[in-house]
Amino acid sequence: MPNEIVRNNRQVPVISFFGTRGGVGKSTIAQYVAELLLSAPGTDGNGPSVLLVDLDVHHRQLTRQYMESTFANSPTFNDLVSLDDPSKVCALNVTAQVKIQKGTSDDRNGELYFIPSASREDVDAYLTGAKADPGRVKEIMVTALQQAVDSHQVSCIVIDCTAIIDMYTAVAAEISDAALCITLAEPAAFDRVDDQSARISAIRPQFSDGFMKTVVNKYLRADRLDDLKKTRDIYHAIPFTKEVLDETEGFDNIDELRLAIFKDYVVQLLEKVFRFQWPELIPPPSIAFPAYITHLATIAPRLKNSRWMKILRAGIHLTWIGLLLSVIGIGGLTYSSRMPSNVTESERTRDLSYTEVAAYSYFTDRTATSNASILFLLFGGVMLSAGLTARKRNALLNVAIDSLVQEREIWLMRQLEKGKKEQRTVMRLFEMSKGLPETNQFLERQI
C-alpha cells in the first residue's frame, strides 16, 4: 500500500535502506542516493529537494558525517520518540556538505535536509525505540516526515536504517515504497535476507515484503550472480569497484574513476525505483561522471586526427611492404631449392668462358640465395605483422571513437565496467587525447 506522505496532492516516495549485517555498504549507498537525487530534473525545471533521515541509532554513521558538531541543539529522531512529540522535528539544511558535482546552475538543483538519529550522549537510544509502542512510532514518523516535507518542499525521502531489525527499521520499512535490503554475495550475508523480512513482519505484521528489494553490493566476478538469482530475486547488483578497475590498467586518478563507477550503479538503481511512477526523480547518468570523462566525450570527433591515429594509418602501409618482402623471400627460397648444388672449379669452368663462369658461380650459390630469402621473409613477416596490428587497432579505435561520438560519456563508463579489454581501449583514448591542445587547456584549468 502507498505511504501516507504527500505534497501538492502527490505522493512523496520513501526509500529505506537496511542490511543483513554491518559493513555491507548500506549507509554509503543511502548517502549517494540522497545526494545524486538533487541533480534529478524534478518538476518545472527545478531539482528536487531531498530529506535524508538517519534511523541507525546504533552506529550513527550519517549523523557523525553530516552534523556531529552542529546538531547538538536540534532534536534527533530518537528525541521525537522519547518526547512523544513529532512537532519538534527539525530538518537541517546540509546541502553545503554535498560533494557531488551538480548541474550547470545551482539554482536548478534541490536542497538536502537531514534528520539525525541520536546524539552521542544518548546512551539509551536503543532502549527508547525498543520500549515504544510500534503504532505510536509509526504515527510519530509519518507526522514528522510530513511536517518536514511541508516545511522544505521535499520531493523524496531517503531513510538509512540499521542492520539490526529494531522498531525504527521495521516501521520505516512498512511506510516505504521501496525497502531495499543491502547484502553481500557471500552466503553468511545473502542467506539472511529472508530472515530480515521475517523479523520486520514480526514487529509490524502490516509490512508487505512485496515492497522489499534485494540489492547485492560489492560482488566479485567470481560470486556467480546467476546462481544466486536462482535462489531469490536480486533487484540490483553493485560490483566491487576495486576489482572492476585495478591498478594494473594504469589509469590516472583511479580512485575517482572507481567512485564514478559506483555512482553510476547507484543512478541505475534509482532508474529502476522511479522509472514508472516518479521519472522526474531519475538523475541524468552524466552526473556520476568525472570532469575528464566529459571532456573526452566532448573532443571525441578530434581524436581521429590525433598523432596516434595518424601513426596507425601510416603503419597500415607496412602490410603491403611486408607482403612484398615475404613474396620475394618465398620466391627466392623456391628458386634456390631448384638450383644445382655447388660444383668444383674444374667442373664449373669446363667449356665456359670467364664471364659465364662468374655468372654461374653467383646464381648457383644456394647458401647465399637461401640466406637472403630468409632475411626477406623475416623482415617481411615483421612488417606484415606490424601492419596487420596497426590495421586492427585503427579499426578498433575508429569504432570506439564513433561510439563515443554517438553515446558520449555513457559509452565510456559502460566500457570501464565491462572488463580489461574494453578498459584498455578507453586507456588508449585517454592517451590519444593528451596530444590535443584542448586537453592541454583542460588540464591547465584543472590545476
Q: Which pLDDT tens digit goes with each residue over 300-348?
A: 999 998 888 999 999 999 999 989 988 888 888 887 777 665 555 555 4
Domain shared by 338 and 242, yes or no: no
Reported confidence tier of residue 352, pLDDT bands at 50, 70, 90: low
Give mean pLDDT, residues 106-115.
80
Q: Provide the pLDDT for residue 120.
A: 79
Give mean pLDDT, residues 422-438.
89
Q: Where are the alpha helices (DSSP H) in 299-352?
A: 307-315, 318-338, 345-349
pTM score:
0.84
Domain shared by 284 and 307, yes or no: no
Q: Provide the pLDDT for residue 137.
A: 93
Give mean pLDDT, residues 28-35.
96
326 domain residue, yes or no: yes
Identify the domain boundary among 240, 260, 288: 288
Angle 88-93-94 (CA atoms, 0-180°, nearest 5)? 130
Give mean pLDDT, residues 86-108.
75
Give mean pLDDT, residues 6-21.
93
Reported confidence tier of residue 373, pLDDT bands at 50, 70, 90: confident
DSSP string of 361-398, one letter each residue: HHHT-HHHHHHHHHHHHHHHHHHHHHHHHHHHHHHHHH
Q: Provide the pLDDT for residue 361.
A: 53
Q: How many CA atoms lie within 13 A of 239 on its CB side?
A: 19
Q: Provide the pLDDT for residue 104.
A: 43
295 domain residue, yes or no: no
Q: What integer best gives the mean pLDDT of the chain?
A: 86
Domain shared by 265 and 309, yes or no: no
Domain shared by 261 and 355, yes or no: no
Domain shared by 274 and 373, yes or no: no
Give mean pLDDT, residues 102-121.
75
Percent over 90 (pLDDT), the chain: 48
Q: Are 184 and 217 in contact (CB under 8 A)?
A: yes
List Cβ neighbours of 196 (8 Å cut-off, separation of 6 or more): 18, 20, 165, 181
Domain shared by 273 and 349, yes or no: no
Domain shared by 169 and 127, yes or no: yes
Is it the case that residue 12 has pLDDT exceeding 50? yes
The candidate with the shortest Cα–Cα distance to 39, out of 292, 294, 263, 296, is 263
Give mean pLDDT, residues 155-178.
93
Domain shared by 281 and 316, yes or no: no
Q: How many domains, the chain?
A: 2
Q: Provide the pLDDT for residue 68.
A: 61
Domain shared by 171 and 270, yes or no: yes
Q: Provide the pLDDT for residue 339.
A: 66
Give mean pLDDT, residues 155-161.
96
Give mean pLDDT, residues 40-63.
89
Domain shared by 169 and 220, yes or no: yes
Residue ranges making up the domain that contains 335: 303-446
Q: Provide the pLDDT for residue 340.
A: 62
Give mean pLDDT, residues 274-289.
92
Reported confidence tier of residue 231, pLDDT bands at 50, 70, 90: confident
Is it the case that residue 356 has pLDDT exceeding 60? no
Which tens digit of pLDDT belongs to each residue from 197-228?
899 999 999 888 778 999 999 998 878 888 88
Q: Residue 16's beta-bridge partner residues?
A: 159, 179
Q: Provide the pLDDT for residue 69.
A: 55
The strand pair at 178-183 and 14-19 is best described as parallel
323 domain residue, yes or no: yes
Q: Provide the pLDDT for residue 106.
A: 47
Is it the case that residue 445 has pLDDT exceeding 50? yes
Q: Residue 52's beta-bridge partner residues?
A: 114, 158
| CATH number of the structural domain spanning residue 90 | 3.40.50.300
Phi, psi torsion values for 23, nearest 5 degrees: 80, 15
Domain shared by 242 and 309, yes or no: no
List the single range of 8-12, 105-109, 122-126, 360-364 with lowest mean pLDDT: 360-364
Q: Which residue has the higher pLDDT, 184 or 100?
A: 184
Is it the case that residue 44 has pLDDT exceeding 50? yes
Reported confidence tier of residue 52, pLDDT bands at 50, 70, 90: very high
Domain shared by 28 and 78, yes or no: yes
Which tens digit of pLDDT belongs to each residue from 378-420?
998 899 999 999 999 999 999 999 999 999 889 999 999 888 8
Is it the case that residue 266 has pLDDT exceeding 60? yes
